[in-house]
Structure 1
Amino acid sequence: MCNTPTYCDLGKAAEDVFNKGYGFGMVKIDLKTKSCSGVEFSTSGHAYTDTGKALGNLETECKNNFAPGYEAADFQLHTHVKDGTEFGGSIYQKVNEIEMPINLAWTAGSNNTRFGIAAKYKLDCRTSLSAKANNARLIGLGSTQTLRPGVKLILYQL
């Protein structure tokens, strides 16, 4: 059975060619691109020639996961988006024999925010102490002693 078009659809294709895509007194641009990792970027803007006013926007859409970061010898910064719903990141700093990371994460659509901080202090070439805490009120303490190459004694207290 054939669907007949409604009265308002008659001649719509021809009318669209004559009326759409023309901006008298206006300059308009629309750009879209997609990265190989699935991140979509779209930007649009328009300027009115008679008033000189301009308007623009930039949109980013992340779909498979997105994780930009920065890494140096003693500093790292990492952020991520997972499935478009979980956002997080970490900061890591090493000063002399002390390592300190901080982790943050948030899940969209909920009040589920996670935060953690940790530290590791290297006493000598064979011994280190570590501690961690998070917003779920969990605290961990640890000690690592290398007895000989390849054999470690690790003690944890949660």
Structure 2
Amino acid sequence: MQKMSVPSYAELGKDARDLFNKGYNFGFLKVDTTSRSSGDTNVEFRTSAAHTIASGKIFGNLDIKYKIPNYGMTLTEKWNTDNMLGTIIEVRDQFAKGLTVILDTCYAPHAVKHSGKIKMEWANRNAKLNADMSVDGGPLFNLSAVVNREGWLLGAHAVFDVARNKFLGTNLAFGRQGIDYTLHSYVNNSREFGGSLIHRAAHNVYLGAQLGWNLGEPNTRFGLAVFYRPSKDLELRAKVSNESQIALAATHYLSNQLKLTFSTQFGLSEPYSGGHKLGMGLEFSP
């Protein structure tokens, strides 16, 4: 479970969040596919379609990624059924070693609206710095840093409104990254406090816990989750929250490239209230 590289601030606690969120798709039917061009492995196609059971709406998106290794560049074109067009240009290790520069743009032709961000990331063995600034509106400037010292992680994040010359938020995080566990704690704007823990109890079993509390609120949010892989073609997931919401999911690998997921969520406090949710997902990745 121990990682060689330092995570970004947004990635702190990601293992625990994935344990609670990935593999569950209750409330909708979903199909994801990933494929590569047979003539050029540097071209990748990703499609996704989701049908929301409650509303009956269908949403889909298409991503086409082109890699240009000689120039350290990756170009991604995006489109979704809301007619949003996006382009991401990523350049890695060309301006300086460990530096990645990204231009992320989005355009809505029907509404004649556009947005964009310039992002930069620099990393070495012991630290990672991230910065991004919107090129429309305010603009807003995001800056974050994470430092690693023998497995101990310290992170800070701030949002600054350039137009108003004002900080909109400051966040701090502290954690420990071990061989078979990751501990993460955070404070957001001195009002929200929380933490998470994920532990690899066995080679095929992961246990996780997370909690959160807002200043001025009497109740604490918490949850427990477990992941179990009894065989190479079956994955089982379960989680429960302080609101007595239980979620279950089972993923069956039909082949090395194709997997099918069924999931459900229901409440223990009111089992007959009709709040049950079901979902199914199909994912193909070569």
How many angstroms does 1:38 deviate by?
Answer: 7.1
Asked if 1:118 corresponds to 2:253, the answer is: no
Structure 2 CA distance, aligned partners of 1:135 and 1:38? 29
What are the ranges of 5 or more consecutive residues in structure 1 without an aligned counterpart? 1-35, 40-62
Aligned residues: 101
Q: Which residue of 1 aligns with 2:173?
A: 67
Match for 1:95: what amino acid? Answer: A
Q: Which residue of 2 aligns with 1:100?
A: 207
Q: TM-score, normalised by structure 2?
A: 0.33
How many angstroms does 1:73 deviate by?
Answer: 2.3
Match for 1:149: what amino acid? Answer: N
Alignment of 1:9-24 (within 5 A): none
Structure showing greater Rg:
1
Q: Which residue of 1 aligns with 2:182?
A: 76
Q: Which residue of 2 aligns with 1:149?
A: 256
How many angstroms does 1:79 deviate by?
Answer: 0.2
How many angstroms does 1:120 deviate by?
Answer: 0.9
What are the ranges of 5 or more consecutive residues in structure 2 without an aligned counterpart? 1-144, 146-155, 159-168, 266-286
Of the three residues 244, 247, 272, the one matched with 1:140 is: 247
How many angstroms does 1:155 deviate by?
Answer: 0.8
Structure 1 CA distance, aligned partners of 2:260 and 2:182? 28
How many angstroms does 1:150 deviate by?
Answer: 3.0
Structure 2 CA distance, aligned partners of 1:102 and 1:154? 23
Q: TM-score, normalised by structure 1?
A: 0.59
Q: 1:130 to 1:38 in 2, by over 3 A?
A: closer
Q: Which residue of 2 aligns with 1:87?
A: 193
- Tell me which protein shows more strand as a share of its residues: 2
Structure 1 CA distance, aligned partners of 2:186 and 2:224? 18
Match for 1:72: what amino acid? Answer: G
Structure number with higher relative contact order (C-alpha < 8 Å, ≥ 6 residues apart): 2
Structure 1 CA distance, aligned partners of 2:177 and 2:255? 31
Q: 1:38 to 1:138 in 2, by over 3 A?
A: closer
Q: 1:38 to 1:125 in 2, by over 3 A?
A: closer
